Amino acid sequence: MGDNRLAELAMVHSEIMACTKCDLHKSRKNAVPGEGPIGAKIMFVGEGPGQNEDEQGRPFVGAAGKLLTELLGSIGVSRSDVFITNIVKCRPPNNRAPRKAEIEACNPYMMSQIRLVKPRIVCPLGTPAIATVLGEESSATRAHGKPQTKGNVTILPMYHPAAALYDASLKEVLASDFNVLKDLLKDPSPPREPVLEDGREMRRETLEKWV
Ligand code: URA
Ligand code: SF4
């Protein structure tokens, strides 16, 4: 079973690397599927690859990634134990925000990652990721630090570490939201199968949004 999930995740990541479903494929150097172990308790979802990520094909390898790694360290978690990805897997040109059509085209990949990794907690980072995971009315300002449950998975929205890089007060908020994450990790109950909101299992062919 674990092996099947690993093989299936590898297939999803190969698909992403060859994907042409939206225009972002035209300007990317490398698609950035994401990385981390199957069965990771935590999945972080950022906005999209930046220049460093596009060049290296890996998520959160620049300054925001360094802060993310530090924040994880502050609650005793190693970066190699978490799964890290983005709502779009290819870099938007000049770091513009990803467009709705691009986010929608890419969404099935994130849903497959959630279904296969089965994280206990998903942390969308910043408003575009939060709105993608929780719905368009959600924002970092309103939702950060408050865990909610969706499709059997705990969602803990947070500010984007890039926003906190040059804003000490946001960095404090982010650090205190990481302490909420630390408390959530103490829950001893086994992880549950991610499902769609109406209770149906998520399947590979499920292209619906997770609503
Ligand atoms: N910012 C993001 O949202 N994602 C990355 O992978 C890097 C920076
Ligand atoms: Fe495909 Fe997503 Fe890249 Fe668009 S952003 S080309 S949907 S992998």
Q: What is the pLDDT of residues 103-141, one digit of tens each?
A: 999 999 999 999 999 999 999 999 999 999 999 899 999
Position 203 scores a pLDDT of 65
Q: Does residue 193 fall inside a structural domain?
A: no
User: Which residue CA neighbors atom 8 of ligand 1 most closely?
Assistant: 60
Binning pLDDT at 50, 70 and 90, where does residue 207 land?
very low
pLDDT average, residue stretch 176-193 = 91
The burial class, CB within 10 Å (0-12 / 13-18 / 19+), for 172 is exposed
Q: Does residue 204 fall inside a structural domain?
A: no
Q: Give how many domains the chain has, as a whole number.
A: 1
Ranking 4-8, 157-161, 196-200 by mean pLDDT, the lowest is 196-200
DSSP states along 1-26: -HHHHHHHHHHHHHHHHT--SSTHHH
The burial class, CB within 10 Å (0-12 / 13-18 / 19+), for 173 is middle
Position 211 scores a pLDDT of 45
Average pLDDT in the chain: 93
User: How many Å lie between the centroid of ligand 1 and the Cα of residue 199?
Assistant: 31
Mutation choice for ligand 2 from 19, 91, 100, CB with most ligand atoms inside 8 A: 19
pLDDT above 60 (res 187)? yes
The interaxial angle of helices 100-117 and 127-134, nearest 10 deg, is: 70
Binning pLDDT at 50, 70 and 90, where does residue 18 land?
very high
The interaxial angle of helices 168-184 and 63-74, nearest 10 deg, is: 50
Q: Does residue 168 fall inside a structural domain?
A: yes
Structural domain for 14, as ranges: 2-187
Position 155 scores a pLDDT of 97
Position 12 scores a pLDDT of 97
Q: Does residue 84 fall inside a structural domain?
A: yes
CATH, residue 29 = 3.40.470.10
Global pTM value:
0.94
Pocket of ligand 1 (CB under 6 A): 46-50, 53, 59-60, 62, 64, 86, 162
d(CA 168, CA 142): 19
Are 64 and 161 contacting, i.e. CB atoms less than 8 angstroms apart?
yes
Binning pLDDT at 50, 70 and 90, where does residue 188 land?
confident
Q: Does residue 209 fall inside a structural domain?
A: no
Q: Does residue 198 fall inside a structural domain?
A: no
User: How many Å lie between the centroid of ligand 2 and the Cα of residue 176?
Assistant: 33
Q: Does residue 86 fall inside a structural domain?
A: yes
Pocket of ligand 2 (CB under 6 A): 16, 19-22, 24-25, 31, 88-90, 102, 105-106
Q: Does residue 192 fall inside a structural domain?
A: no
Q: What is the pLDDT of residues 65-111, one digit of tens each?
A: 999 999 999 999 999 999 999 999 999 999 999 999 999 999 999 99
